């Protein structure tokens, strides 16, 4: 299972009211550049070329923010990228950012053990499980 990694700036922007985790469109995109915890916006981490089924900017994770017993939870729908007519990649990182805020501020990222190139008809799925992250006591 890929470890959840935090961008430091996300916490600041959350406190400043930049992110609305329920109504804003969060997207996941693929990169082969190592993210840094100090990165702040999507432009800091190069996205792979949009080709053969991989769309520019990545894909909407259909995020939902909810609260229960004092704990907030961000959930998302698994995203499947399907190579078609050729390959895309290589990539090693899946990064989430807020597409509805100017500058595309970053949220978090995960890392594959090795870089991967999806060949024609291959699929790559980001499986978010029960939640992307929780916030609370």
Partner 1 sequence: MSTTGAKFPTHALGIDEDPWLDEQWNDPSNVYADDGVTASVTGTKFDSGDQTYVLKVDVFNFSSIPDAATILGVICRVNTWYRSGQGSGSMDLMQLLNPSHNRVGTNQCSTPVALTTNNTTIITKGSSTDLWGNALTPAWVKNSAFGVGLGIIATAEDADVDIDYVTLEIYYTGGVNYTLTCESGSYSLTGQSAALRAARKISAVPGSYAYAGQPVDLKVARKLTASPGSYLLTGQDAVLRAIRKIAAAAGSYAYTGQDANLLLGHHYALVCEPGYYGEPYSKIFVTLDGRIYKKMGNTYLRLS
Which residues form the interface with partner 1 (CB under 8 A)? 1-6, 11, 83, 94, 108, 110, 112, 116, 118-137
- 45 or 132: CB nearest partner 1: 132
Cα three-residue angle 48-51-56, rounded to 5 degrees: 60
User: Count of alpha carbons within 13 Å of 123, Cβ hemisphere only?
Assistant: 6
- 97 or 102: CB nearest partner 1: 97
- CB neighbourhood size of 119 (10 A): 12
Min. distance of Cβ 10 from partner 1 in angstroms? 9
Burial class of residue 33 in the structure, from the number of CB atoms within 10 Å of its CB (0-12 exposed, 13-18 middle, 19+ buried)? middle
Min. distance of Cβ 23 from partner 1 in angstroms? 20
- 28 or 42: CB nearest partner 1: 28
């Amino acid at each position: 299972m890929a470890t959840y990694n935090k961008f430091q700036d996300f916490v600041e922007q959350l406190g400043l009211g930049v992110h609305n985790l329920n109504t804003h469109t969060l997207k996941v995109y693929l990169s082969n550049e190592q993210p840094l915890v100090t990165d702040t916006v999507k432009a800091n981490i190069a996205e792979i070329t949009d080709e053969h089924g991989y769309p520019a900017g990545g894909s909407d994770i259909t995020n939902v923010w909810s609260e229960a017993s004092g704990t907030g939870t961000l959930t998302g729908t698994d995203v499947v990228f399907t190579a078609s007519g050729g390959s895309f990649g290589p990539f090693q990182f899946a990064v989430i950012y807020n597409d509805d805020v100017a500058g595309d501020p970053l949220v978090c990222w995960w890392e594959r053990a090795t870089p991967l190139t999806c060949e024609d008809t291959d699929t790559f799925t980001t499986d978010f499980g029960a939640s992307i992250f929780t916030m609370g006591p």
